[in-house]
């Protein structure tokens, strides 16, 4: 009885799966690590055996100690935010093709939280580390410089950095938004920041806006909401700026669509005619942007493309190939009713 219980408690091994599926242990290993190299018929037998035996790969015995770990780690500023959803889904889908799994951490725009996540992830020896933006603490920069694992920075660009980069210029996004509103005849244009102080990419967009304003002899201005929730922060900005008797803005550029949505709703509740009373412009092209009334003018980042290209680079690295060091993408300005 004791022997039977000990046998039942033993962990199912890769060899057990191979025996049940009628294939070699090497083929089962390929099923997990290089699924594209296993034919459809043995794949089905292995999958059935894995399910029947409730098999879980023992990563601690192999993958985590080797240079061929099948986990890719990513740190994003906000997992719950819609702006990164398409990137995460596309990255996860693309990695799955090569037998990789995606492990996530959220920094919520804190370079200190990002540093802790990067340090922990590198300790697990991932196949690659994917970061969002190029703004890091000095300690994270040192970790990146010393990392033996490939590091991919997404959603931003700065030529000359060590990590592989897939992204776009946030400064150019700010320039494009400001120029669009100037072309519409607006002159008093104000930028509304994210209430999350660590959103340095949004500050880059603000810098681009300021460049264009100054080039036209106009004064750039910004507003910083205090409300933590994005919709409330946007509403706070609209109420405060619309109440100004002097130098009331003609148009607002928001750090993201959530803020812009809060502003539009607050303006409507106050009886404002938008965009006649004040134009509203966002960033992100969230799923609700075209459904608002008025629909939201915004800039659409290549979110899904970033995830697809990051996954493709991980697969290239896994094959021993060297991806492009810098992949520059462009954003699309989407003109709708709000501006």
* pLDDT for the residue 255: 97
* pLDDT for the residue 62: 52
Q: What tokens appear for 317 in the block?
A: 């690295």
**Bridge partners (DSSP) listed for residue 252:** 190, 280
User: Does residue 29 register a pLDDT over 90?
Assistant: no
Domains 70-168+303-330 and 170-300 share a fold: yes
pLDDT in tens, 102-148: 999 999 999 999 999 999 898 888 999 999 999 999 999 999 999 98
Q: What is the CATH number of domain 2-57?
A: 1.10.260.40
In the CATH hierarchy, which fold is given to the domain comprising 70-168+303-330?
A: Rossmann fold (3.40.50)
What pTM, to 2 d.p., does this model score? 0.82
pLDDT in tens, 225-255: 999 999 999 999 999 999 998 889 999 999 9
* pLDDT for the residue 63: 46
Average pLDDT over residues 299-313: 98
Q: Look at 213 and 12; give whichever has higher pLDDT.
A: 213
Q: What is the mean pLDDT of the chain?
A: 91
**Would you kindly state where each structural domain of the chain is located, as residue ranges?**
2-57, 70-168+303-330, 170-300
The closest alpha carbon to 67, from 162, 151, 150, belongs to 150
The closest alpha carbon to 100, from 289, 243, 311, 330, belongs to 311
Q: Which of 156-160, 178-182, 248-252 has the lowest mean pLDDT?
A: 156-160
pLDDT in tens, 68-98: 578 999 999 988 888 999 999 999 999 999 9
Rounded to the nearest angstrom, the gap between the alpha carbon of residue 159 and the centroid of all alpha carbons in its chain is: 20
* pLDDT for the residue 32: 80
Q: What is the CATH number of domain 170-300?
A: 3.40.50.2300
């Amino acid at each position: 009885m004791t022997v039977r219980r000990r046998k039942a408690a033993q962990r199912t091994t890769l060899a057990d799966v191979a025996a049940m599926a009628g294939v070699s242990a090497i083929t089962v290993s390929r099923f997990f690590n290089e699924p594209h190299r296993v034919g459809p018929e043995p794949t089905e037998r292995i999958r059935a055996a894995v399910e029947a035996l409730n098999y879980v790969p023992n990563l601690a015995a192999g993958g985590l100690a080797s240079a061929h770990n099948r986990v890719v780690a990513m740190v994003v500023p906000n997992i719950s935010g819609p702006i990164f959803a398409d990137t995460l889904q596309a990255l996860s889908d693309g990695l799955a093709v090569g037998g990789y799994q995606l492990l996530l951490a959220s920094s919520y725009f804190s370079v200190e939280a990002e540093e802790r996540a990067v340090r922990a992830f590198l300790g697990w020896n991932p196949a690659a580390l994917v970061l969002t933006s190029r703004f890091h603490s000095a300690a994270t920069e040192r970790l990146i410089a010393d990392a033996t694992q490939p590091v991919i920075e997404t959603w931003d660009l700065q030529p000359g950095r060590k990590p592989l980069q897939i992204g776009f210029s946030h400064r150019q996004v700010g320039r494009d938004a400001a120029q669009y509103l100037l072309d519409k005849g607006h002159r008093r244009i104000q930028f509304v920041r994210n209430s999350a102080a660590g959103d340095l990419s949004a500050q880059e967009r603000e810098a681009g806006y300021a460049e264009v304003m100054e080039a036209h002899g106009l004064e750039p201005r910004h507003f910083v909401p205090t409300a933590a929730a994005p919709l409330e922060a946007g509403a706070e900005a609209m109420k405060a700026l619309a109440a100004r008797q002097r130098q009331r803005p003609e148009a607002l550029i928001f750090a993201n669509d959530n803020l812009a949505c809060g502003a539009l709703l607050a303006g409507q509740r106050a009886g404002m005619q938008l965009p006649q009373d004040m134009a509203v412009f966002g960033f992100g092209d969230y799923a609700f942007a075209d459904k608002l009334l008025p629909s939201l003018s915004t800039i659409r980042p290549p979110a899904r493309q970033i995830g697809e290209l990051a996954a493709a680079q991980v697969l290239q690295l896994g094959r021993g190939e060297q991806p492009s060091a810098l992949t520059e993408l462009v954003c699309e300005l989407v003109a709708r009713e709000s501006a």
